[in-house]
Structure 1
């Protein structure tokens, strides 16, 4: 294990030289020395730089030699037992000196428990029950579907993903009675601390007696002890864990929720055949007709949200709407890691389906995406950009209304190649609110539009919109042209601006006329002095007698601005005359 002590590049290269293997990851900091004789490291995946974890087992260390079969069993089981609530196996590097297993990025449960100790009682209870729910699902799968016994359900066998979800690991002794040489029945006591989670029958007769009993018996008892340890971390194990294994007393409940305590007692039943199984514990907790001792999972808000997200595509419109409303109303109350790494990815996935719900999902995605890193935000942008191709007007409006929250994060190529081709259909939409929202969107996207789009395609759309039946659209179109003016090409400015603003001055809507005058003022530097004298002032002067005072006032302001420009320029002109005087000759006919 010395080659990994300092976690330096030299150490890693030494391992490669000795083993001849090509590591699929780059090791980072050591996270923990797991009690199950593994060393846990943070790492990054070589091919894409994504965060992963690496579990290292050192064959050379003398204390590890007796447990080498357990390390190999853990690798074999982790490879074959795939389940959302089981630690996700990704790759492995093996040599004569070590096994290095690459998994999804996780941290030990013990570290997470310390973090959650400072939370409010309700927040902590919600998170613990959610975690126990996931562990129960995993155990029910292992016991029933895989017909196996985990054999080591303890806090050190549980890991926490970036989203805060509990993942079951610690497969060193996981066995099926039909395995070739199942290790649980002969080596179940070798992992450090294994007897702390052993049921009464094992403490009395050894691990071999599990082979002929229910596959869930040992795991049920260990689940009960796990439940006690996470809710009461400062308490000693319950008296029932030691001979003569008396039934749990009410005084041993501690912080265990009252609704869970009856199941807790059944999990710790000394009789393995009468002991509550993880599957029964799970079903009781998920009971919809919740009684006094049931429904503790079904009523947990994190469990409900996860269930709704997992089944979102299959849910009815009413179920989808209820879930999205819950997310919106409770957004600030979810744990940050749960919001960023559990809710957000599920909502982004749901966006891929589009449909009526997308209009509601878009604002939620942006709301939950505020706290993610720039790299992770790129996973949000892709689906958002693709949604511009959706024919659903509600989706389009949601994208346009929220554009200010993500426009600065979209690069120019994506705007030109993916957003603009779909966005421009909004200029001709039959629904006025879509046309108006599209105009407003251009203000945010114009810095990323190409010169060709700005000086040709866009202006053609805006010229048509200046004759739109809706007065507000005509007004906003004029305002937009005024804002775009300084960014247009020289020839485009000379051809477009005066006609566009002059047309607004003839509009029947008073605010459109005001917009035309304001636009003239805002783009004053876009006009050469000859055009000011010959085109701009003649266009404005008539507005000084407009029937609306607001228009007249703005017209005089504009006239004052442009007249000052003329006066300044005229004062700088050179008078060409004879050397001493200018002669004016009057001819009389």
Structure 2
């Protein structure tokens, strides 16, 4: 086993060091001579989709498994935003496993791409090759469609690094040994004339230059678009200059980055978002302040498909300028942003197709800052999810948030749960058994008009006859209301008694004074006027007075002065206490018959003459007299 193979195996983990919670789909996405591509999901902390490359059984340095080993080593060493991202690698059951970011082979999506998207992809591949040539000082040696993958955000990623080597190791013998597994059309013609010797290639970048020229020609064949400037000119450079038979005459790939074809505004925006970690704060600030105006000039489907995921990347979400200016328009669809005075970037249909899947992935991320940002705009996009998405994906993640020790996170999570109640119902959000613990204390008639619906106060003048107007005087508007003390509502009976909904109306006292006039005062019509003369009785109305149940209301009760001919039913009930009259007997006529006869006649007569003496009753009479006086 060679030294390179030992180094690769040393960097790879054993069977116990594979990704925790990784589930590999048995369905094969792509098959090559050295490995098969599968989709995988990491379920440890949050669901993350990955690519899993699985080699054949390892039999030695010359076998197919060694090819995937070299690819894993190079992906781990050479990191760039436009190179397929390495996640992990391990050996299990004699097979090499390589896990990378989720991406699709370019061959599976190229037919659905427009020329502008292809130019964006070619620009990304160019930047990756320039990085390898000028920074890493190595050559890819197999630039072709099979080596390119398209990530979930639409970015083309350079893969297939199994044939990569340093410039110092790029010899004729190395190229001859790897030629059988390389793309035949991307092999420059000078390799046919190379002898089997071990000398170094004089122009090491020429191999990738030729390969990129062939690759660009295949991608842009018969695809021209007026929206991309000088596209035909760029294609001519790829054919005539990059595929020049003389290696020394092929232009450097870095010079192509400045071509007019890649100066398209949309391509520059995409490139800036991809390379955002490399930009300064001033550059990012200026970029995000003008980004919204520039994006509105492109079709929203193109923006959503090509830039949707980049606009919701972690670097964008955590940028202060983007949070202030860009994200309010990205996180809410158009129809919901019109009410706030802002214009959403995507319509509801486009939003659901491209943004909602990304948001569902973001809810699985246990990052406090990301979650706080999502919940701050939750009311703007929560209606864009389906009921099943809210119930099975969003709600469980929100319920996790209320158990966190971050009080701010718990607070905004509770607000988000409140937004879900109109969409899912309280039973689904809160759970458990519920009971009706509160009642509606409003009158029944008010309940039919809906909550918070105040009715216009009704006047009783239509039911009761209008009395003759009493003379009034102008006075202060608040003086009359001040004389009527406010009375709290009695407990019970509110649901069955007609009430007035005029909040400014004051109720009279319970005790009606004796000198109340026999007229109804319309407070709404009289306003702040006072009653000048309460002793006068209003003239009787000529209109026939009809009985009305509202007269039984204590608020409408009227006290009238007693008429002269009114019979007093309580007159005899007043106590009358008089002094007891005594019978006087003449003491001198004891022996006379006339006196006896006279005394016999008047023995039972009652003398009604008042007696002013103080004998007999004494002080008791005085006490009764006091009672009578009361």
TM-score (norm 1): 0.58
**Contact persistence 1:87–1:159 (CA under 8 A):** yes
Secondary structure at the aligned position of 2:219 is classed as helix
- C-alpha distance after superposition, 1:424-456 (max 9, x if no partner): 9xxxxxxxxxxxxx9xx99958989xx9xxxxx
CA RMSD of aligned residues (A): 5.0
Is 1:275 matched with 2:241?
Answer: no
Does the 8 Å contact 1:351/1:362 carry over to 2?
A: no
Deviations 1:96-120 (A, max 9, x none): 732111111111111011333xxxx
* Residue aligning to 1:79: 76
CA separation in 2, counterparts of 1:356 and 1:341? 14
Instruction: Note the residue ranges of structure 1 that are not aligned, 5 or more in a row.
Output: 1-18, 117-123, 235-254, 286-294, 390-395, 425-437, 452-486, 502-513, 521-526, 548-565, 571-585
Contact 1:162 1:337 in 2 (8 A): no
Q: In the TM superposition, what is the alpha-carbon distance from 1:401 to its structure 2 partner?
A: 8.3
8 Å Cα contact 1:324-1:360 kept in structure 2: yes
Contact 1:67 1:190 in 2 (8 A): no
Deviation, structure 1 residue 400: 9.4
Give, in angstroms, the shift of residue 138 of structure 1.
0.6
Provide the C-alpha distance between the structure 1 equivalents of 2:384 and 2:491, rounded to a whole number of angstroms: 37
1:376 paired to 2:344: no
**Where do residues 520-559 of structure 1 align in structure 2 (5 Å cutoff)?**
530-532=493-495, 536-537=499-500, 539=502, 542=505
The equivalences for 1:315-464 within 5 A come to 315=283, 317-330=285-298, 332-334=300-302, 336-345=304-313, 349-355=315-321, 358-367=324-333, 370=352, 371-373=355-357, 375-378=360-363, 383=369, 386=372, 399=377, 402=380, 411=398, 417-418=407-408, 444=419
Distance 1:299 1:229, change over 3 A: same
Is contact 1:199-1:218 (8 Å) kept? yes
Distance 2:165 2:197 in 1: 12
- The answer to whether 1:296 aligns with 2:296 is no
Residue 190 of structure 1 aligns to a residue whose secondary structure is helix
Tell me by how many angstroms 1:300 deviates.
Answer: 5.1
Q: Secondary structure at the residue paired with 2:38?
A: strand
Relative to structure 1, is the Cα distance of residues 206 and 76 closer, same or farther in structure 2, using a 3 angstrom cutoff? farther
Q: Alpha carbons of 1:44 and 1:209: their partners in 2 closer, same or farther (altered >3 Å)?
A: same
Deviation at 1:378, TM superposition (A): 1.6
Q: 1:315 to 1:223 in 2, by over 3 A?
A: same
Which region of structure 1 is more displaced relative to structure 2, 371-380 or 216-225? 371-380
Q: CA shift at 1:126, angstroms?
A: 0.7
Question: Which position in structure 1 is the counterpart of 2:518?
Answer: none
For 1:536 and 1:128, locate their aligned partners in 2 and report how far apart those are by CA, in whole Å: 74
Partner of 2:232, secondary structure, is coil
Deviation of the 1:317 alpha carbon: 4.8
Identify which of 91, 109, 117 aligns with 1:94.
Answer: 91
CA 1:67/1:187 → structure 2, altered by over 3 Å: closer, same or farther?
farther
1:168 aligned to 2:105? no
Q: Say whether the 8 Å CA contact 2:82–2:125 is kept in structure 1.
A: yes
Match for residue 112 of structure 1 among 109, 131, 134: 109
C-alpha contact 1:35 1:156 (8 A) present in aligned 2 = no
Which residue matches 1:231?
220
**Partner of 1:30: helix, strand, or coil?**
strand
How far did residue 86 of structure 1 move?
0.9
Normalised to the residue count of structure 2, the TM-score between the two structures is: 0.54
1:328 Cα deviation from its structure 2 partner: 4.4
C-alpha contact (below 8 Å) 1:160/1:166 kept by paired residues: yes
Task: State the distance in 2 between where 1:300 and 1:180 align.
Answer: 38
| Pairing of 1:39-54 with structure 2 (within 5 A) | 39-48=36-45, 49-54=47-52
Q: Counterpart in 2 of 1:260?
A: 234
Using the TM superposition, give the Cα deviation of residue 153 of structure 1 relative to its aligned residue in structure 2, in angstroms. Answer: 0.6
With over 3 angstroms needed to count, the CA separation of the structure-2 counterparts of 1:538 and 1:157, relative to structure 1, is closer
CA distance in structure 2 between the partners assigned to 1:228 and 1:47 by the alignment: 43
Cα drift, residue 35 of structure 1 = 3.9
Which residue, 26, 29, 37 being the options, matches 2:23?
26
C-alpha deviation, 1:422, in angstroms: 8.0
Distance in 2 (alpha carbons) for counterparts of 1:89 and 1:158: 15
Query: Does structure 2 retain, via aligned residues, the 8 Å contact 1:110–1:155?
Result: yes
Superposed displacement of residue 132, structure 1: 0.6
**Which of 190, 193, 199 is equivalent to 1:201?**
190
Deviation at 1:228, TM superposition (A): 1.0
| 1:54–1:100 CA contact under 8 A, matched in 2 | yes
Q: 1:211 maps to what in 2?
A: 200
User: Residue 422 and residue 537 in structure 1: after superposition, are their counterparts in 2 closer, same or farther (change >3 A)?
Assistant: same
| Distance change in 2, residues 1:178/1:196 (3 Å) | same
Residues 537 and 417 of structure 1, relative CA distance in 2, 3 Å threshold:
farther
1:130 pairs with one of 100, 120, 123:
120
Larger Rg, first or second structure (1 or 2)? 2
1:147/1:215 contact within 8 Å kept: no
Post-superposition offset of 1:155:
0.7
The answer to which of 356-365 and 100-109 deviates more is 356-365
How has the CA–CA distance of structure 1 residues 421 and 70 changed in structure 2, closer, same or farther, with 3 Å as cutoff? closer
Q: Which runs of 5+ in 2 are unaligned?
A: 1-13, 224-228, 334-345, 427-434, 458-489, 507-521, 526-548, 554-568, 574-630
* Residue equivalent to 1:574: none
Structure 1 residues 337-346 or 265-274, which shifts more?
A: 337-346
The Cα of 1:350 is off from its aligned counterpart by 3.0
**Contact 2:454/2:501, CA 8 A, preserved across alignment:** no
SS at match of 1:315: helix
Which structure: greater helix fraction? Answer: 1
Deviation at 1:379, TM superposition (A): 6.2
Which position in structure 2 is the counterpart of 1:517? 454
Match of 1:55 in 2: 53
In 2, Cα distance between equivalents of 1:316 and 1:22: 39
Q: Does 1:145 align with 2:135?
A: yes
| 224-233 vs 21-30, which moves further | 21-30
Distance 1:401 1:111, change over 3 A: closer
Helix, strand or coil: the match of 1:84?
coil
- Give me the whole-angstrom Cα distance separating, in 2, the residues matched to 1:406 and 1:76: 43
**Is this contact kept in 2: 1:173–1:184, CA < 8 A?**
no
Cα deviation, 1:48-91, whole Å, max 9, x if unaligned, reads 431101111103689x9555543332222122111111111111
